[in-house]
């Protein structure tokens, strides 16, 4: 993770080819609100003079957007956020001299306040160096189809702390910067430096005297642009941990290649009990994103890592052997994308103290903007600060501490979830951090920090448990929403959601069915924080697309949050204590088989449970249904006998379509399509919804019901929730005096207290 730094700023005038010497900054003041929604400033700019334009909001409620127009009035650059928070910055190199216009406006109607606009020519406000720093590179470059990458050469000394920064001279260029040694081996790499921009940064301590290469390339090959690059050696800089320069005795070194044909390679190493192993990979070609897995002599996973935390996609693990024997180190490819290339794997024998150092680093999941303070409760160690963008008030801190203990008691002591693994000091780490200002579209998150295999807090032997930490926004200010929010309510909803993830990681931190993580955690909000839950807002996503396959990974994973109603449906039938049993099944099974095995143990079936949920969703038989603001999507209205078909793309695995039946009397309904499709008749009357399973077809008398619908259900489970298939079908409606008559005993019955007739939507 990118580490923030606190530096003494100096103004250094640098001369770069095509860029003029620094000039005195111009400072403007402005106010943005509903009465003054736009502030404009005219600037006289010279061709080839780099200009940096920044806003600094004078209050937390202002989120600025900056735009720059050339002398002809053409928009040349725009920026919303570039740093922690909601300030804006434009870096631009004019091609012509003239009068340019800077326009500032609030991001939305909820944003207002005073701001300061600063305009400088040159580099001074881009550098963050100590007085002892020495600039070793200052240049510009262009990335396009003719120039895919630009290379710079540096001569450096052992122990030098090198900082390299790129700045796109434009709004859309997304740079990647890489540092290589004289042999061409990749030492460090960074895409986005974490300040909200697309710019890049490397901070690295040079291991040996020699010649090094800095290469800048584009993340997106379709977006060209110019960039500025500055490199300096700064003895006051704190470099991130260097995973490739660890003191230890080399055990072995291996070279390998991974691609679609060879997705992993394994190597063995003999360890004695108490001996500590350090293993790390280094990609040497291609776009390889490695993973490392360590298996003990019984072939149980005891450690694993994806990205080691230095901005690269390389991996590292440090482990002290519990037993003597032959261990296996497996190098694999990150499973979520297609990547390939060569790598080197190094195995070292290290001191046990080094393993403890790695563990402590892993548990520090964020770097706070000010001095880190600690508050310990019975079960939690809360990390917070009272300075900078992560500032926390005492009221908020106290409420957070109380919330954590409350949700621990509810989820673990009352609901019966297994206590998750604690950190090395016996606590659960929790961070108050400006998540909203630093991350995209999230309010908090939980992250595994140390893979341990077995959770020592349970009698069961887990195979993939991890220690974890949770991160929650420090104030829930500057929310991008038109709805007024209560920060403490959002904090409580987010905290209970993220703590449930920590509990989940105590069962299985490597469960591939991502849907299960989020559907369960969203549901836990509804049963732990009552009216302060934030889960009902997601239901409309699921209700709008009931035809999508079960646990679909489309829609950017948002369906998982809205599908918490499936977890509630399971709890309604089998009790709330059944949900931890589902996660117990995740210890030995993966994917949808987790649900299949858990339901089989409860004398239920996966197919039956999903069909039941699809009917319950139609009935809206949930306590929180008044907050849904949605009914399941209506496919069509059958108002006469004949042939009917889908109006959309069809139906995916374990999805459902719903048709209103606007006919009175007995009718025969038949489906023509894949064998996996079946019909359900849904009747609403006398305060309840009756559901009749018709199979491929049957007769149904609508006369006794106030509202009738047909549900088409696809019984087959998806083989891959990331690659579901639409199928279509035809419905035939005829007079019901002939044909098979369905049993009049409902398969399922639900309350119709919150039922609402379906409506055609555009």
Are 225 and 297 members of one domain?
no
Same domain, 379 and 357: no
Which residue, 121, 151, 174, sits at the end of a domain? 121
What region, left, alpha or beta, does residue 100 occupy, with left being phi > 0 and alpha being psi -120 to 50 degrees?
Answer: beta
Residues 177 and 229 in one domain: yes
Question: Which residues share a beta bridge with 280?
Answer: 316, 346
Q: Is residue 238 part of a domain?
A: no
Q: What pLDDT score does 126 carry?
A: 59
| Orientation of helix 578-585 relative to helix 593-600, angle to 10° | 130
Q: What is the CATH number of the domain that holds 686?
A: 2.60.120.380
Q: Mention every residue, 6+ apart, whose C-beta is less than 8 A from residue 327.
A: 268, 269, 270, 271, 277, 294, 295, 296, 297, 321
146 and 198 belong to one structural domain:
yes
Same domain, 373 and 498: yes
383 & 489 share domain: yes
CB 49 within 8 A of CB 121: yes
Whether 102 maps to a domain, the answer reads yes
Q: Is residue 545 part of a domain?
A: no
Q: Around Cβ 611, how many Cβ atoms within 10 Å?
A: 23
Distance CA 597, CA 586 (A): 9
pLDDT on residue 523:
98
What is the rounded CA–CA span in Å between residue 659 and residue 638?
7
Q: Which residues contact 91 (CB under 8 A, 6 or more apart)?
A: 50, 51, 52, 126, 167, 168, 169, 170, 228
Distance CA 104, CA 31 (A): 9
User: CA 350 to CA 709: how far, in whole Å?
Assistant: 68
CATH code, domain carrying 431: 3.40.30
Residues 437, 86 contacting (CB under 8 angstroms): yes
pLDDT at residue 336, as a whole number = 61
What local confidence, expressed as pLDDT, does residue 652 receive?
A: 97
Contacts of 762 (CB under 8 A, 6+ apart): none
Write the burial class of residue 209 (CB in 10 Å: 0-12 exposed, 13-18 middle, 19+ buried): exposed
**d(Cα 506, Cα 451) in Å, to the nearest integer?**
10
Q: How many structural domains does the chain have?
A: 5
Contact partners, residue 757, CB within 8 Å, separation at least 6 = 631, 660, 707
Report the distance separating Cα 135 and Cα 152, nearest Å: 14
Does some domain include residue 166?
yes
Domain termination residue (choose one: 462, 480, 510): 510
Structural contact between residues 352 and 274, judged by C-beta atoms closer than 8 angstroms: yes
Q: Give me the pLDDT at residue 350, please.
A: 95
Say if residue 487 is in the same domain as residue 389: yes
My answer on whether 55 and 191 are in the same domain is no
Rounded to whole angstroms, the Cα distance separating 731 from 410 reads 48
Distance separating alpha carbons of residues 248 and 187, to the nearest angstrom: 19
Task: Please tell me whether residues 358 and 373 are part of one structural domain.
Answer: no
Structure tokens at 309: 């935390």
- How far is residue 445's CA from residue 422's CA, in Å, rounded to a whole number? 17
Sign, Cα dihedral of 729, 734, 736, 740: negative
The secondary structure of 427-475 as a DSSP string is -EEEEEE-HHHHSSS-SEEEEEEEEEES-TTSSS--SBEEEEEEEEESS
Q: Domain limits at 657?
A: 636-751
Q: What is the mean pLDDT of each run of 10 residues along the chain (762 residues)?
A: 21 27 71 89 87 83 87 86 68 87 87 88 63 86 91 94 84 83 84 72 89 91 85 85 85 95 95 96 86 92 84 87 96 82 94 88 86 97 94 97 98 97 94 87 90 91 93 86 81 97 96 95 96 93 95 89 98 97 96 97 97 98 96 96 91 97 95 97 97 95 95 97 95 76 79 94 64
Same domain, 161 and 212: yes
- Beta strands (DSSP E) in 558-665 are 636-638, 642-645, 656-661
Instruction: Give the residue from 315, 332, 363 where a domain finishes.
Output: 363
Q: Starting at the edge strand that comes first in sequence, how are the strands of the sheet with 316-320 ordered?
A: 249-258, 341-350, 276-283, 316-320
Q: Are strands 113-121 and 26-32 parallel, antiparallel or unpaired?
A: antiparallel
**DSSP symbol at 307:** -
Q: Taking Cα atoms as reference points, which of 205, 214, 209 lies closest to residue 235?
A: 205
Provide the angle, in degrees to the nearest 10, between the axes of the packed helices 514-528 and 564-574: 70
Q: Is residue 140 part of a domain?
A: yes
Is 756 among the domain residues? no
Q: Is 603 part of any domain?
A: no
Q: Are residues 183 and 264 in the same domain?
A: no
- Spatial strand order in the sheet of 642-645: 642-645, 730-735, 666-672, 697-701
| Domain shared by 352 and 371, yes or no | no
655 half-sphere exposure, CB direction, 13 A CA radius: 26
For residue 15, the model assigns a pLDDT of 26
Residue 280 lies in a domain: yes
In DSSP terms, which residues pair with 319 in a beta bridge? 277
pLDDT of amino acid 85 = 55
Which two three-digit tokens encode residue 327? 């261990």
- Identify whether the C-beta of residue 675 lies closer than 8 Å to the C-beta of residue 665: no
| Helix and strand element counts for the chain (H, E) | 11, 39
Beta bridge partners of residue 649, listed in sequence order: none
pTM for the model: 0.74
Q: What is the pLDDT of residue 250?
A: 94
Is 247 in a helix, a strand, or coil?
Answer: coil
């Amino acid at each position: 993770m990118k580490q923030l730094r606190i530096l003494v700023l100096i103004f250094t005038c640098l001369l770069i080819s095509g860029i003029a010497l620094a000039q005195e900054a111009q400072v403007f003041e402005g106010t943005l609100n509903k009465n003054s929604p736009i502030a404009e400033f005219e600037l006289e700019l010279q061709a080839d003079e780099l200009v940096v334009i920044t806003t600094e909001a004078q209050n937390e409620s202002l989120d600025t957007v900056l735009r720059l127009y050339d002398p002809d009035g053409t928009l040349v650059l725009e920026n919303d956020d570039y740093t922690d928070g909601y300030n804006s910055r434009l870096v631009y190199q004019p091609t012509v001299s003239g009068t340019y216009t800077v326009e500032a406006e609030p991001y939305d109607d909820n944003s207002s306040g005073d701001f300061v606009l600063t305009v400088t020519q040159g580099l001074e406000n881009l550098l963050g160096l100590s007085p002892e720093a020495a600039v070793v590179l200052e240049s510009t470059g262009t990335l396009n189809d003719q120039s895919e990458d630009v290379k710079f050469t540096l001569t450096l000394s052992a122990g030098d702390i090198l900082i390299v920064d790129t700045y796109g001279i434009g709004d859309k260029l997304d740079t990647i910067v890489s540092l290589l040694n004289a042999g061409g081996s990749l030492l460090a790499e960074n895409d986005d430096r974490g300040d909200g921009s697309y710019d890049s940064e490397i901070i690295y301590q040079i291991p040996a005297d020699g010649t090094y290469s800095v290469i800048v390339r584009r993340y997106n090959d379709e977006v060209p642009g110019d960039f500025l690059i500055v490199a300096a050696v700064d003895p006051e800089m704190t470099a991130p941990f260097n995973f490739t320069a660890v003191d230890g005795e080399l055990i072995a070194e291996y070279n390998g290649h991974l691609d679609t044909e060879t997705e992993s390679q394994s190597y063995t190493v003999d360890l004695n009990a108490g001996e500590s192993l350090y293993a790390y990979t280094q990609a040497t070609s291609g776009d390889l994103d490695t993973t490392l897995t360590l298996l003990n002599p019984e072939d149980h996973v005891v450690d694993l890592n994806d990205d080691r935390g230095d901005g690269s996609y390389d991996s590292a693990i440090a482990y002290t052997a519990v037993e003597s024997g032959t261990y296996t180190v497996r190098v694999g490819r990150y499973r979520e994308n297609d990547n390939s290339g060569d790598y080197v794997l190094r195995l070292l024998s290290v001191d046990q103290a080094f393993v403890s150092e790695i563990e402590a680093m892993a548990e520090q999941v964020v770097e706070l903007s000010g001095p880190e303070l600690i508050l310990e409760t019975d079960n939690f160690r809360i990390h917070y600060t009272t300075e900078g963008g992560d500032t926390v008030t005492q009221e908020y801190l106290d409420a957070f501490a109380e919330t954590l203990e409350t949700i621990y008691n509810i989820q673990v002591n009352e609901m019966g979830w297994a206590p998750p693994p604690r950190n090395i000091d016996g606590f659960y780490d929790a961070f108050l951090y400006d998540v909203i200002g630093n991350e995209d579209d999230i309010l908090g998150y939980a992250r595994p920090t140390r893979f341990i295999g077995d959770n020592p807090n349970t009698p069961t032997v887990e195979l993939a448990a991890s220690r974890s930490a949770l991160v929650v926004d420090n104030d829930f200010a500057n929310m991008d929403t038109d709805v007024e929010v209560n920060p403490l309510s959002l904090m409580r909803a987010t905290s209970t959601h993220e703590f449930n993830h920590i509990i989940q990681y105590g069962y299985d931190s490597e469960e591939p069915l991502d849907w299960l993580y989020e559907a369960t955690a969203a549901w836990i909000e509804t049963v732990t924080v009552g009216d302060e839950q934030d889960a009902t807002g997601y239901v409309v996503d699921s209700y709008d697309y009931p035809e999508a396959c079960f646990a679909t990974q489309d829609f950017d994973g948002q369906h998982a949050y809205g599908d918490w109603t499936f977890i509630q449906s399971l709890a309604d039938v089998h009790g709330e204590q059944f949900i931890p049993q589902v996660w117990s099944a995740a210890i030995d099974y993966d994917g949808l088989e987790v649900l299949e095995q858990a339901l089989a143990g409860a004398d239920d079936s996966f197919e039956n449970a999903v069909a039941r949920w699809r009917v319950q969703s139609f009935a809206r038989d949930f306590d929180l249904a008044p907050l849904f603001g949605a009914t399941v999507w209506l496919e069509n209205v059958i108002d006469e006998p004949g042939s009917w078909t889908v109006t959309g793309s069809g139906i995916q695995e374990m999805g459902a379509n719903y048709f209103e039946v606007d006919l009175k009397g007995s009718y025969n309904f038949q489906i023509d399509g894949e064998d996996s499709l079946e019909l359900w008749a849904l009747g609403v009357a006398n305060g309840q919804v009756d559901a009749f399973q018709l199979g491929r077809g049957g007769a149904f008398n609508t006369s006794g019901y106030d509202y009738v619908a047909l549900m088409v259900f696809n019984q087959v489970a998806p083989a891959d929730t990331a690659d579901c298939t639409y199928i279509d079908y035809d419905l035939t409606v005829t007079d019901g005096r002939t044909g098979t008559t369905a049993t009049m005993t409902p398969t399922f019955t639900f309350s119709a207290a919150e039922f609402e007739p379906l409506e055609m939507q555009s």
